[in-house]
């Protein structure tokens, strides 16, 4: 079973990488971009076969390691 975790900075937290991308896009002539938020996607290949247990395990992984829950939010998808 596979899981996909999407981690993003919480709204209100400064995103310097996103701002750099927005600025670079403007420099390249893409003027319609008002804001960019950059995050990360983590794909996990799990041995767990029960989707509910897999999601619970991945949630625990996020809380302990994959996301800094003080400044980041995350979304778990079981695929």
Size of the chain, expressed as the number of residues it contains:
79
Mean pLDDT of 53-79: 97
pLDDT (tens digit per residue) in 16-60: 999 999 999 999 999 999 999 999 999 999 999 999 999 999 999
| pLDDT at position 50 | 96
| pLDDT at position 61 | 98
Instruction: Please provide the DSSP assignment of 30-70 as one string.
Output: -TT------EEEEEEE-----HHHHHHHHHHHIIIII--TT
Cα separation, 75 vs 1, in Å, equals 17
| pLDDT at position 9 | 96
Domains, the chain, with CATH or none = 2-78 (3.30.1280.10)
| pLDDT at position 7 | 98
| pLDDT at position 64 | 98
Structure tokens at 34: 């008002």
């Amino acid at each position: 079973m596979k899981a996909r975790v999407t981690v993003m900075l919480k709204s209100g937290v400064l995103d310097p990488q996103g701002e750099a991308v927005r600025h670079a896009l403007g420099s390249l002539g893409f003027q319609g971009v008002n804001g960019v938020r950059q995050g990360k996607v983590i794909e996990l290949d799990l041995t767990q076969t029960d989707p509910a247990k897999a999601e619970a395990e991945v949630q625990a992984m996020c809380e302990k390691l994959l996301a800094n829950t003080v400044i980041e939010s995350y979304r778990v998808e079981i695929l």
